[in-house]
């Protein structure tokens, strides 16, 4: 059976030694009282919930899956899921990052992100039921009317109701401008919605009494394309004026998908037949409002893969220490045994260290971005909020795509560590690979993330946000470039920084002649920038580890070794990525379509 222990030591390292979140909290009036001990205590309790309550359900939930009743449209989640959700609510976990005004605990995003990392390691599919709720909460908080907020936010905060996001339709996923669902205005200010949505995560289930769907649809006179999309809140049960539940609304789950992974999360086909809804925000500006939820979800998906990377790593290490096969090429390392444990073999080490480095780099980036969100939302100074907001915007596609691509590589490498046993369901490793794959697809495929980064966030912005990040890197290089022991980290970081600048200019110039050049380079480009970000954080982590390596705490020795592995074995991937990005569009579009 798989194992999982929340990596609290490394989480503390990132929060307190790398990011020093407590100092930042002191600059944010809302979080000024939150200290290291409070945060650690929350994480310790969170770790218990994840390890003891939802982790034991991960494998059984995957095996059982969800059940759909065609006559009642009801969805039943696997055994134990509903009870685990009740404990989640009882523990106050849904309220962690929500506003006290609506019953929330008002803790920083950083706390929520760290909790979600552990939850995703423990059981990604289970966590998606409450996970989407938080995005719905944020969208309503940012764009809902006071009446909508009062009706829905307390129940989403307490976890009594969950939320969904209903964007995708059979004929449109990436291109939401094509969507057809309709919303007819009613005399009482509500709307009647009709249409079909597919692939709706947690669209129907048995854990809560009401489900709050956020639905994109078109008004009768809406312009074509993305400029004609509005956003509506459509509850499963209508809510009476006194807050009690009323009639069943016309939104039903007509089927659930059979899919590669996350079996225990119901992926629903939803039919809206005259369902009553209320508009969120302004007419035809629904996509803008929905972006609040989509951005939160994109970061959340990156954290899903961070969680899977960590749990796959932990299991692969345990297996590699236990499994004996062949002797080390340099002579027996366990002469008392008939063979050496496979962890002695260099390539097994490479697979383990790849997962470890991707987990540690991903944790540093994800928690840093969560802290930037806390600054963006709460800093008293408008400039500080803007700076942080720019970093969040720039990094969102990187967190989503780089962490999920890495998660796929890492879980696959960890499965490989098990040899044939990794492919067998009993060990649980193949589930992590299957679960990790969807993260590269939903919430905008990783290709779409890369277009967002290169097209919108970098080129359309004349590189302003990227330059801001470049400034952080340049300052670090300037400060540490003179330190002998830091050369091995600072030099490759500086070199990659220069190359990213040149590559960005080159693609920008080419794109002026042919916009397809952006599409041809974007995926490689995002990986190169992702590595720049990881190199920056690994260099910063190495600096701390170097200073403390004589402390006698093996944690710092391991951190340094992981940073060295990252720079020596993973960062060099950027050379081939840059070459591929520079090769441009010609090799891709030269062949005419009919030759395919």
Ligand X SMILES: Cc1cc2nc3c(=O)[nH]c(=O)nc-3n(C[C@H](O)[C@H](O)[C@H](O)COP(=O)(O)OP(=O)(O)OC[C@H]3O[C@@H](n4cnc5c(N)ncnc54)[C@H](O)[C@@H]3O)c2cc1C
Site residues, ligand X (CB under 6 A): 165-168, 173-174, 199-201, 259, 267, 438, 441-445, 447-448, 519
Of 46 and 444, CB closest to ligand X: 444
Nearest to 465 by CA among 523, 577, 388, 401: 388
Of 260 and 568, CB closest to ligand X: 260
Query: Can 443 be counted among the known catalytic residues?
Result: yes
How far apart, in Å, do the first and last CA atoms of the chain sit? Answer: 45
Token representation of residue 7: 């990596």
Helix, strand, coil percentages (3-state) for the chain, rounded to 5, are 65, 10, 25
Sheet strands (E) in 182-338: 182-185, 191-201, 210-217, 230-235, 237-239, 245-248, 251-256, 267-280
Of 200 and 577, CB closest to ligand X: 200
Q: Which residues are within 8 A (CB) of 386 and not within 5 positions of it... i.e. 6 or more apart? A: none
Residue nearest to ligand X (CB): 173
Q: How far is the CB of 170 from ligand X (least distance, A)?
A: 8
Q: Are 439 and 301 in contact (CB under 8 A)?
A: yes
Of 19 and 202, CB closest to ligand X: 202
Token representation of residue 122: 């423990």
Of 108 and 519, CB closest to ligand X: 519
Q: How far is the CB of 326 from ligand X (least distance, A)?
A: 40
| Residue 152 Cα distances to 102, 161, 213, 236, 543, angstroms | 9, 8, 11, 12, 47
Q: How far is the CB of 230 from ligand X (least distance, A)?
A: 15
Pairing assessment for the beta strands 210-217 and 161-166 based on DSSP bridges:
parallel
Q: How far is the CB of 530 from ligand X (least distance, A)?
A: 18
Determine the Cα–Cα distance for residues 57 and 3; give it in Å rounded to an integer.
12
Q: How far is the CB of 305 from ligand X (least distance, A)?
A: 14
Q: How far is the CB of 495 from ligand X (least distance, A)?
A: 30
Token representation of residue 596: 């395919």
Helices 554-565 and 346-378, interaxial angle, to 10°?
Answer: 100
Of 36 and 259, CB closest to ligand X: 259
Token representation of residue 181: 């669902």
Nearest to 4 by CA among 34, 49, 40: 49
Q: Are 405 and 454 in contact (CB under 8 A)?
A: no
Of 151 and 267, CB closest to ligand X: 267
Q: Which residues are within 8 A (CB) of 393 and not within 5 positions of it... i.e. 6 or more apart? A: 457, 465
Q: Which residue has the tokens 């050379």?
A: 575
Of 115 and 442, CB closest to ligand X: 442
Of 397 and 519, CB closest to ligand X: 519
Nearest to 502 by CA among 472, 520, 525, 533: 525
Residue 68: enclosing H or E segment and its boundaries? strand 67-68
Nearest to 542 by CA among 346, 357, 309: 357
Token representation of residue 178: 């094509």
Q: How far is the CB of 198 from ligand X (least distance, A)?
A: 7
Q: How far is the CB of 400 from ligand X (least distance, A)?
A: 11
Q: How far is the CB of 441 from ligand X (least distance, A)?
A: 6
Q: Which residue among 138, 443, 480, 517 is the active-site one? A: 443
User: 513 burial class (0-12, 13-18, 19+ CB within 10 angstroms)?
Assistant: exposed
Neighbours of 187 (CB within 10 A): 5
Q: Are 413 and 355 in contact (CB under 8 A)?
A: yes
- Give the active site residues: 443
């Amino acid at each position: 059976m798989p194992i999982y222990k929340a990596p609290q030591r490394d989480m503390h390292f990132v929060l307190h030694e790398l990011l020093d979140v407590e100092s930042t909290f002191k600059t944010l009036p809302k979080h000024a009282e939150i200290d290291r001990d409070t945060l650690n205590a929350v994480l310790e309790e969170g770790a218990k919930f994840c390890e003891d309550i939802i982790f034991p359900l991960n494998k059984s939930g995957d095996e059982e899956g969800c059940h759909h009743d065609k006559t009642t449209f009801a969805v039943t989640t696997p055994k134990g899921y509903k009870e685990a959700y009740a404990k989640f609510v009882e523990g106050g976990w849904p309220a962690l990052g929500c506003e006290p005004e609506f019953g929330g605990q008002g803790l920083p995003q950083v706390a929520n992100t760290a909790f979600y990392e552990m939850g995703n390691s423990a059981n990604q599919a289970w966590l998606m039921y409450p996970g989407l709720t938080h995005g719905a909460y944020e969208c309503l908080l940012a764009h809902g009317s006071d009446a909508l907020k009062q009706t829905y936010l307390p129940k989403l905060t307490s976890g009594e109701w969950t939320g969904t996001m209903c964007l995708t339709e059979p004929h449109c996923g990436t291109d939401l401008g094509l969507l057809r669902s309709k919303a007819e205005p009613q005399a009482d200010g509500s709307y009647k919605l009709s249409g079909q949505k597919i692939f709706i995560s947690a669209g129907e289930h048995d854990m809560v009494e009401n489900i709050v769907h956020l639905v994109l649809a078109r008004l009768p006179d809406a312009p074509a394309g993305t400029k004609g999309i509005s956003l509506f809140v459509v509850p499963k049960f209508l809510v009476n004026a006194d807050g009690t539940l009323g009639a069943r609304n016309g939104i039903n789950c007509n089927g659930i998908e059979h899919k590669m992974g996350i079996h225990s999360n119901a992926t629903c086909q939803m039919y809206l037949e005259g369902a009553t809804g209320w508009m969120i925000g302004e007419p035809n500006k629904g996509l803008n409002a929905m972006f609040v939820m989509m951005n939160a979800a994109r970061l959340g998906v990156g954290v899903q893969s961070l969680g899977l990377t960590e749990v796959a790593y932990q299991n692969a290490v345990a297996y590699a220490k236990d499994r004996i096969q062949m002797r080390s090429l340099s002579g027996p390392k366990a002469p008392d045994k008939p063979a050496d444990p496979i962890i002695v073999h260099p390539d097994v080490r490479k697979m383990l260290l790849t997962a470890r480095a991707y987990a540690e780099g991903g944790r540093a980036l994800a928690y840093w971005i969560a802290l930037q969100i806390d600054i963006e939302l709460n800093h008293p100074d408008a400039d500080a909020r803007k700076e942080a907001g720019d970093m969040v915007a720039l990094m969102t596609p990187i967190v989503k795509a780089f962490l999920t691509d890495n998660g796929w590589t890492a879980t696959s490498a960890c499965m490989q560590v098990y040899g044939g046993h990794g492919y067998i369901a009993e060990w649980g490793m193949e589930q992590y690979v299957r679960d990790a794959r969807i993260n590269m697809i939903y919430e905008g495929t990783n290709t779409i993330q890369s277009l967002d980064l290169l097209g919108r966030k970098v080129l359309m912005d004349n590189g302003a946000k990227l330059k801001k990040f470049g400034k952080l890197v340049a300052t670090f290089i300037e400060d540490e470039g003179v330190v002998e022991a830091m050369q091995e980290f600072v030099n490759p970081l500086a070199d990659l920084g220069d190359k990213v600048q040149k590559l960005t200019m080159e693609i920008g110039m080419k794109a002026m002649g042919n916009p397809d050049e952006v599409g041809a380079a974007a995926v490689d480009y995002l990986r190169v920038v992702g590595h720049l970000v990881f190199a920056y954080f690994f260099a910063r982590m190495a600096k701390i580890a170097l200073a403390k390596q004589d402390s006698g705490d093996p944690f710092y020795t391991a951190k340094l070794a992981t940073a060295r592995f990252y720079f020596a074995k993973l960062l060099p991937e950027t050379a081939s990525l840059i070459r591929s990005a520079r090769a441009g569009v010609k090799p891709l579009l030269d062949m005419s379509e009919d030759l395919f």
